[in-house]
């Protein structure tokens, strides 16, 4: 059976059994860190097996919206080295928080193009793109900038979750990253430059609402 | 509310449409072996990344937990998975349900594809999909739960 996240698509594809869950995209089981909620979703999904004919499409009764409009309230590290670009100084200041998140979660989404030790290098390259430098010359051959942006965003989001000491609501940490941090500003400027240069995948640099 | 805009943006995208829906009845749930198939584009360290419209799949063993989110799209939340993989890949929930006898068992292997495919999904329908189904059938799977992001 399918946990449906796009009802319109599920209605047209018509899989045998689907439970539509109007939850934040990226959280098909609804709530991270809440096993009881996840079990309710699975119970409802497995309940569809009782149907004798299909296709079956039912709605999970609870709706959860994302919190992109409410950026996480999270501290930004103070400047500690004026010789560094603000975003690099900032990323360095978040390292201990990132390490705490890694220890707590036991895993990280950082590591597609670079691990945590490589985040400053990624930022150096992204700053070059934000300043209008060619992607390849900046250190991002063949679309690797897209992987780099996910590493950077994951590093910041995971560090933020340790700083606030709870699991952020969906998209709240992402909004904090783009609205409050120097690295977010670099990424938005890099996206603007790539759009201006008509690089075809510019819209995959950030989510469409940023 | 970013998701409302994204859902609206993709609502009219072409998707595969079929004249009929295959439908079979499953054995009682307490006798079913359950597998997870997600389109979250999960990955291990050292895996090849997911390319544009990559229609391949990866296999994870039942006991594996060091699994990262690898889907390249920026248009979904990543912070939930970082804190609790079960919100996408509910492997611990399945283990609990098996221990309680609610499901018959947890499959020995689970799969990930990457969502955001071309509208025909030709490779997945003709090649990688059947190959993935064979792995599940060989593992004695009766029920699959599909989790997109």
Q: How many domains does chain B have?
A: 1
- On whether residue B71 sits in a domain, the answer given is yes
Residue window 4-63, chain B: list those with CB within 8 Å of chain A. Answer: 4-7, 9-13, 15-18, 21-26, 29, 32, 43, 45, 49, 52
- Region of residue B140 (left: phi > 0; alpha: psi -120 to 50; beta: else): left
- On whether residue B44 sits in a domain, the answer given is yes
User: Which residues have CB under 8 Å from A59's CB, separation 6+?
Assistant: A19, A20, A22
Is this complex's ipTM strictly greater than 0.90? yes
pLDDT of residue B99: 98
Task: Tokens for A134, please give them.
Answer: 């060619």
| Half-sphere CA count of B142, side-chain side, radius 13 A | 16
B58 to chain A, closest Cα gap in Å: 16
pLDDT (tens digit, 9 = 90+) per residue, A117-169? Answer: 999 999 999 999 999 999 999 999 878 999 999 999 999 999 999 999 999 99
Specify the pTM: 0.95
Task: Tell me which residue in B21, B77, B146 faces A55 most closely, judged by beta carbons.
Answer: B21
CB of B79 within 8 Å of any CB in chain A?
yes
CB of A154 within 8 Å of any CB in chain B?
yes
- On whether residue B104 sits in a domain, the answer given is yes
- On whether residue B123 sits in a domain, the answer given is yes
Of A77, A100, A97, the residue nearest A87 (C-alpha): A77
Question: Model confidence at B1, in pLDDT bands (50, 70, 90)?
Answer: low
Question: Chain B: residue nearest A149 by CA?
Answer: B74
pLDDT (tens digit, 9 = 90+) per residue, A42-69? Answer: 999 999 999 999 999 999 999 999 999 9
Answer whether B139's CB lies under 8 Å from B33's CB. yes
Residue-number span of the structural domain to which B123 is assigned: 27-147
The distance of Cα A33 from the centroid of its chain, to the nearest Å, equals: 17
pLDDT of residue B116: 84
Question: Model confidence at B117, in pLDDT bands (50, 70, 90)?
Answer: confident
CB of A52 within 8 Å of any CB in chain B?
yes
A83 to chain B, closest Cα gap in Å: 31
Question: Chain B: residue nearest A173 by CA?
Answer: B79
CB contact under 8 A, A106 and B65: yes
- On whether residue B19 sits in a domain, the answer given is no
CB contact under 8 A, B79 and A35: no
CB of A199 within 8 Å of any CB in chain B?
no
User: Which residues have CB under 8 Å from A87's CB, separation 6+?
Assistant: A123, A126, A127, A181, A182, A183, A185, A186
CB contact under 8 A, B81 and A46: no
Q: Between the CA of residue A207 and those of A16, A99, A210, B43, B72, what are the distances in Å?
A: 31, 25, 6, 21, 11
- On whether residue B7 sits in a domain, the answer given is no
- Which sequence spans correspond to the domains of chain A? 2-59, 86-204
Using a CB-CB cut-off of 8 Å, the residues of chain B touching A26 are: 76-78, 80-81, 88, 149
């Amino acid at each position: 059976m399918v946990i449906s996240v796009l009802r319109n698509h599920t209605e047209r594809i018509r899989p045998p059994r689907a439970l539509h869950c109007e939850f934040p995209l990226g959280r098909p089981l609804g709530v991270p860190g809440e096993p009881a909620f996840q079990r309710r979703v699975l119970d409802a999904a497995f309940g569809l097996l009782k149907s004798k004919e299909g296709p079956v499409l039912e709605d999970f009764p609870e709706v959860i919206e994302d919190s992109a409009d409410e950026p996480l309230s999270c501290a930004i590290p103070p400047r500690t080295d004026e010789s560094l670009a603000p975003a690099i100084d900032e990323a360095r200041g978040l390292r201990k928080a990132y390490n705490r998140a890694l220890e707590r979660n036991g895993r990280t989404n950082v590591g597609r193009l670079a691990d945590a030790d490589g985040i400053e290098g990624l930022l150096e390259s992204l700053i070059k793109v934000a300043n209008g430098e060619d992607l390849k010359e900046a250190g991002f051959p063949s679309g690797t900038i897209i992987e780099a942006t996910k590493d950077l965003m994951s590093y910041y989001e995971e560090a933020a979750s340790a700083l606030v000491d709870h699991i952020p609501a969906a998209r709240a940490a992402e909004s904090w990253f783009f609205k409050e941090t120097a690295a977010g500003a670099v990424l938005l400027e890099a996206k603007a430059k790539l759009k201006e240069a008509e690089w075809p995948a510019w819209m995959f640099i950030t989510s469409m609402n940023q | 509310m970013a998701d409302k805009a994204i859902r609206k943006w993709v609502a009219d995208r072409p998707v595969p449409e079929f004249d009929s829906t295959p439908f079979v009845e499953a054995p009682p749930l307490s006798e079913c072996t359950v597998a997870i198939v997600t389109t979250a584009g999960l990955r291990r360290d050292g895996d090849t990344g997911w390319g544009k419209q990559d229609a391949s799949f990866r296999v994870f063993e039942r006991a594996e937990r060091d699994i990262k989110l690898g889907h390249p799209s920026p248009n979904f939340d990543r912070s939930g998975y970082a804190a609790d993989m079960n919100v996408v890949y509910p492997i611990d929930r399945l283990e609990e349900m098996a221990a309680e006898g609610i499901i018959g068992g947890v499959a020995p292997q689970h799969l990930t594809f990457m969502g955001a495919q071309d509208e025909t999904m030709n490779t997945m329908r003709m090649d990688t999909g059947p190959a993935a189904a064979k792995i599940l059938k060989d593992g004695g799977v009766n029920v699959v739960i599909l989790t997109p992001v």
